[in-house]
């Protein structure tokens, strides 16, 4: 079935079917309605514990979508106070694995909130971002000048907050970033966890099904691609565990029964991460 992405009034046909990037096997895809009136086409590779889009959006569609989102009035891109608060929370994860400030690269820096928080905390921070709209937002909201290409420098820490799922070739990018880390440097990544109770409960209404999310990682598949890129000591941080809302369970008991049943089934299947919707992982160069 042919697919066409319509973004800000322009049409972009999907002409790029792919197989699982870890094992090369092809799996059937299902079309899922995503947020903002968009579509995704998601296949699952059970052996690799990885889901991915096929056919995937064109590079032109991805750029158009990214600029459209960052230039919109949506609270995700305009609520600078919430983004500052979230950035400070992310910085605590960095400080857990690297207590002393050093040189930091935020790859896929968005509107620059994390770069701003890092600079304020004493880090020598640089942000890289491709969206022209996001670069303009960073300048306007946070007084940060982001770069549009990877600097030829070495870093103590590289962060990728909600970025790896957007990459067309995660392995190639991670290999490139591995070469920019100093010895014993740390990579920190945040991305959705495909093996979690919320995704199973919500089904095709899972909030992380988005047009520009090319991949949906489990801890195992994320570790596989990170390890192939040359990193070691991969681990998922013990953060962001969640369970069904008790208040919602009391007000909507039928929902509560389904939610708790799904929660416990996920914890049995994946004891360490079945209750993590968005995972933060670390690896060493």
Residues 54-113 pLDDT 10s: 999 999 999 999 888 877 666 555 557 888 899 999 999 999 999 999 999 999 999 899
When divided into structural domains, the chain yields a total of 1
pLDDT the model gives residue 77: 56
In a domain, 53, yes or no: no
Q: Are 231 and 181 in contact (CB under 8 A)?
A: no
Give the pLDDT mean for 197-201: 97
CA distance 28 to 55: 10
pLDDT the model gives residue 76: 56
Tokens standing for 62?
């991805």
CA distance 167 to 148: 15
User: pLDDT tens-digit profile of 153-176?
Assistant: 999 999 999 999 999 999 999 999
Q: Look up residue 128 and give its DSSP letter.
A: E
- Rounded to whole angstroms, what are the CA distances from 28 to 12, 49, 52? 22, 15, 11
Lowest average pLDDT, out of 13-22, 67-76, 108-117, 193-202, goes to 67-76
In a domain, 17, yes or no: no
pLDDT the model gives residue 2: 80
CA distance 207 to 214: 14
Q: Is the pLDDT of residue 1 over 80?
A: no
Q: Domain containing 241: what range?
A: 59-203+218-284
In a domain, 182, yes or no: yes
In Å, the largest CA–CA distance within the chain is 56
Lowest average pLDDT, out of 19-28, 60-69, 223-232, 272-281, goes to 60-69
Sign of CA dihedral 52, 54, 59, 64: negative
pLDDT band at 121; cut points 50, 70, 90: very high
Q: What percent of the chain has pLDDT over 70?
A: 97
- The mean predicted confidence, pLDDT, of the chain is 94
- The CATH number assigned to the domain holding 121 equals 3.40.50.150
Residue 209 CB-half CA count within 13 A: 23
Chain CA centroid to CA 57, Å: 17
């Amino acid at each position: 079935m042919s697919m066409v992405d319509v973004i800000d009034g322009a049409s972009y046909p999907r002409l790029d079917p792919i197989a699982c990037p870890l094992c090369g096997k092809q799996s059937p895809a299902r079309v899922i309605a995503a947020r903002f009136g968009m579509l995704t086409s998601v296949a699952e590779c059970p052996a690799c514990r990885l889901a991915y889009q096929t056919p995937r959006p064109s590079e032109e569609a991805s750029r158009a979508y990214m600029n459209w989102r960052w230039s919109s009035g949506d609270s995700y891109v305009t609520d600078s106070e919430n983004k500052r608060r979230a950035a400070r929370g992310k910085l605590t994860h960095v400080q857990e694995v690297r207590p002393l400030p050093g040189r930091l690269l935020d790859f896929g820096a968005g509107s620059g909130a994390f770069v701003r928080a890092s600079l304020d905390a004493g880090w020598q921070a640089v942000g890289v971002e491709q969206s022209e709209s996001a670069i303009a937002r960073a300048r306007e909201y946070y007084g940060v000048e982001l770069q549009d290409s990877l600097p030829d420098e070495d870093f103590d820490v590289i962060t990728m907050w909600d970025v790896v799922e957007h990459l067309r070739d995660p392995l190639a990018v991670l290999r490139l970033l591995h070469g920019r880390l100093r010895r014993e440097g740390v990579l920190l990544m945040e991305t959705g966890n495909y093996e979690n109770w919320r995704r199973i409960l919500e089904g095709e209404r899972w909030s992380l099904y988005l047009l520009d999310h090319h991949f949906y990682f489990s801890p195992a598949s994320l570790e596989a691609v990170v390890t192939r890129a040359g990193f070691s000591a991969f681990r998922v941080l013990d953060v962001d565990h969640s369970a069904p809302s008790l208040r919602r369970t009391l007000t909507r008991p039928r929902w509560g029964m389904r939610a708790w049943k799904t929660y416990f089934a996920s914890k049995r299947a994946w004891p360490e991460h079945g209750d993590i919707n968005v995972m933060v992982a670390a690896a060493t160069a």
